[in-house]
Chains A and B, each alone.
Chain A
């Protein structure tokens, strides 16, 4: 028994003491993303956030008709719940969950960044995940436009942060002194985390008996995404921002590689399911580009993108909890406005890359763009030519 306990401790330490390398995250996210696609609902974050506020505004009487998707058991919503739960459980398992307050200025940036992200993600058809990462994997030409927009937005946002450091001072929040005695939460957290996961998995199993198999599969996949993303501290913002900030390109490499891997999986599924060809294809190019710029500024202000804000909220960071709330609300309101005014058509047309070229060249083109991004940022890592800080 002693040996088993020892091995168990080693395994726990390997998984939850140290962070996992980013490239591991890139591979696992590609795998989980393809699983979601195969289950009929590609991974996105903004869609779920929107459903939450759609219901909120319906309940308070602002919207007259009930939202089409259920608050909890609908495929878009469950993906974002799963991400939040996965990150929360993973933070508990690794004793990293804590209520983290931030200076007032930071909280304001969270609120404003959330609004920018909410609006940008409506225009681009999704956040950095649905509008860029999953969109590129699904062969949406708008994904390239959003990528360009995100790069521009990240630069603008970073410029602002540098200006702010020079010109604005903010006081750190009061730190609570740790209390003597009481429960040592760091010892309890991993057990709570394990219990939480056991409950969710059991619950997913029960759901599958109630004709909610798709939701159950998606929730398990999203839980996995939440764990992977929290353990790697996988951050899409970093992939766009760090080359300009510290010159580092680790995150860029991980994201570029992950997109290349996903493309194969998505295209294989789309090849066999011709009726899914237009799944996750959005308005090109104004929607992606302008939405990307707005979203990019927002994610720099908030310090988290769609996925990044949600997993950090799950870790107890108050600033990102606020960002998630305003993201969700502004996305719902703006989307509602766009639908009633029917303006989305002026943002361009949805184009499936493989329908313009063919499957082979669509994969080649996507991979080449990712490799160029990777190469430019790797060159910058050596030369710091693009670094502006």
Chain B
């Protein structure tokens, strides 16, 4: 029993890294994604082309490969003078870029699904573009993207374990160390941590969906 609590505690140490990676990625990628989606819908062609190319590259290559690129390429380019002192920072950068690209497409889908008439109604009522966006369109977009966003955010929880490939001391890496001592169950036990985390998120998103259920359209 003591061993169980011991191992739980050590796995929690690792899961802390997963949580930091999750939290920071979410915090930065959510606004960054909005910025990229604005770029993808921009009337200025070079900006639009740039943003869409970035999204294509990021969505078109594995996140695992992107982790390698972020961690190994800068030292190679600078002849070793720049090196990540902290592996978690490298993982955060890769995750932020990757998830911002996915979020941007969800935002774009949501924003483009709002009928043109909503904007026109705002215009003929003398509203400014920014007022139309924040007072009329935004909440409707939020309502429409809660479901795809929750999907993506739950995927993010589990993707954090990929940081293991650049040796971030996250929960799976911790668990693997026990296999060297002949203990295999901690590896499977990690699933419980993810399940609980995702369960809480699911409840949270259901709450948000209910809160936005007061109107249709």
Binding between chains A and B: no
Task: Give B contacts to A, CB under 8 Å.
Answer: none
Task: Give A contacts to B, CB under 8 Å.
Answer: none
